[in-house]
């Protein structure tokens, strides 16, 4: 799914917190869809490490309280967060600096440190903050070409964009093969147990069309539903993000 991020997922925010009491936690969520700051409430998942090195799978909700906008790409990076770990507590994560971008090889990521506070505003740990994502694939290509500081044509732009966009040819071939197999199986079953007529053939076609729609359209929705990292206001999902 990582290769489909340019078309399906907006990127990610990844965190690693070391608490002063010896506990640690790493977790990640999706970056706000299409660089839109209104998608600031995210589901996250990760692992909690207690003082003895025992790992516990953890999910929760984070809220981006403040954004910082890159003056180059226009990407909105979260710099202040409210992290709700459920029974493990609520913490606030503040980026040490607003601009902690790392720019290399046509990429603009946010990599830096942050202070971690509890609900009483007491410093309880330190965090690494990583934000990877783009406003959209066109902006990504444009930024990459700008950082190379060379003249480029529209053909150069299209070529690089085509290399970044996930090719769906293999997926289409796989779906076609599966549909042919299903058609063959259904045809044998209907011929064996039912009388032969056009209605049965039409039934097979209807079943296959429904199957094709489910595979090609709902696969992203299913992924959004079970990922535990989608935005609670993510309107591009037919399924609501888990509460």
DSSP-derived 3-state class of residue 81: strand
Burial class (CB in 10 A: 0-12, 13-18, 19+), 190: middle
Looking at the domain assignment, is residue 175 inside a domain? yes
55 shares its domain with 127: yes
Pairing of strands 107-117, 76-84: unpaired
For 2-44, the pLDDT digits (tens) are 334 444 445 788 999 999 999 999 999 877 777 788 888 888 8
Q: Give the Cα separation of 119 and 93 in Å (integer).
A: 11
Domain shared by 128 and 13, yes or no: yes
Contact 164, 3 (CB under 8 A): no
Task: Quickly state the pLDDT bin for 1 (edges 50, 70, 90).
Answer: very low
pLDDT > 70: what percent of the chain?
70
SS3 117: strand
Q: What is the mean pLDDT of residues 119-147?
A: 82
Looking at the structure, do residues 87 and 128 belong to the same domain, yes or no? yes
Alpha carbons 203 and 193: distance in angstroms, whole number: 14
Tell me what pLDDT residue 211 has.
Answer: 73
Backbone angles phi, psi at 33, to 5 degrees: -60, 130
pTM over 0.95: no
Domain extent at residue 52: 2-161
Assess whether pLDDT exceeds 50 at residue 149. yes
Contact 89, 118 (CB under 8 A): yes
pLDDT for 171:
64
What mean pLDDT is reported for the chain?
A: 78
Are both 136 and 152 inside the same structural domain?
A: yes
| Tokens 């480029």, located at residue | 152
Q: Are residues 152 and 174 in the same domain?
A: no
Question: Where does the pLDDT of residue 219 fall: very low under 50, low under 70, confident under 90, or very high at 90 and above?
Answer: low
State the pairing for strand pair 11-19/101-104.
Answer: unpaired
238 is a domain residue: no
pLDDT band at 146 (very low <50, low <70, confident <90, very high): confident
| Distance between CA atoms of residues 21 and 10, nearest Å | 34
216 and 193 in a common domain = yes
Q: With bands split at pLDDT 50, 70 and 90, how would you rate the model's confidence at 238?
A: very low
At residue 14, the pLDDT reads 93
Q: Which residue has the tokens 């907006």?
A: 10
Closest CA to 30 of 16, 10, 45, 60: 10
> What are the φ and ψ backbone dihedral angles of 127, each rounded to 5 degrees?
-140, 150
Say whether both 101 and 8 belong to one domain.
Answer: yes
Examine residue 117 and state whether it is found in any structural domain, yes or no: yes
47 sits in which H/E element = strand 41-49
Domain termination residue (choose one: 104, 138, 161) = 161
Average pLDDT over residues 141-167: 75
Residue 136 pLDDT grade (very low, low, confident, very high; cuts 50, 70, 90): low
Same domain, 64 and 156: yes
């Amino acid at each position: 799914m990582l290769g489909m991020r340019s078309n399906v997922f907006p990127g990610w925010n990844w965190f690693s917190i070391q608490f002063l009491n010896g506990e640690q936690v790493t977790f990640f969520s999706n970056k706000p869809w299409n660089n839109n700051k209104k998608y600031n409430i995210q589901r996250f998942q990760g692992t909690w490490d207690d003082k003895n090195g025992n790992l516990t799978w953890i999910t929760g909700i984070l809220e981006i309280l403040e954004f910082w906008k890159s003056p180059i790409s226009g990407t909105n990076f979260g710099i202040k967060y409210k992290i709700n770990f459920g029974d493990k507590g609520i913490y606030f994560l503040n980026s040490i600096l607003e601009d902690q971008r790392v720019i290399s090889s046509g990429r603009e990521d946010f990599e830096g440190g942050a202070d971690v506070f509890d609900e009483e505003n007491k410093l309880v740990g330190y965090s690494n903050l990583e934000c990877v994502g783009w406003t959209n694939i066109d902006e990504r290509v444009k930024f990459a070409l700008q950082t190379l500081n060379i003249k480029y044509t529209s053909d150069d732009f299209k070529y690089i964009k085509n290399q970044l966009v996930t090719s769906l040819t293999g997926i289409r071939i796989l779906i076609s093969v599966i549909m042919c197999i299903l058609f063959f199986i259904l045809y044998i079953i209907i011929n064996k147990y039912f009388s032969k007529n056009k209605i049965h053939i039409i039934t097979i076609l209807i079943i296959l069309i429904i199957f094709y729609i489910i595979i090609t359209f709902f696969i992203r929705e299913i992924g959004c539903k079970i990922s535990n990292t989608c935005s609670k206001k993510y309107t591009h999902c037919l399924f609501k993000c888990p509460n």
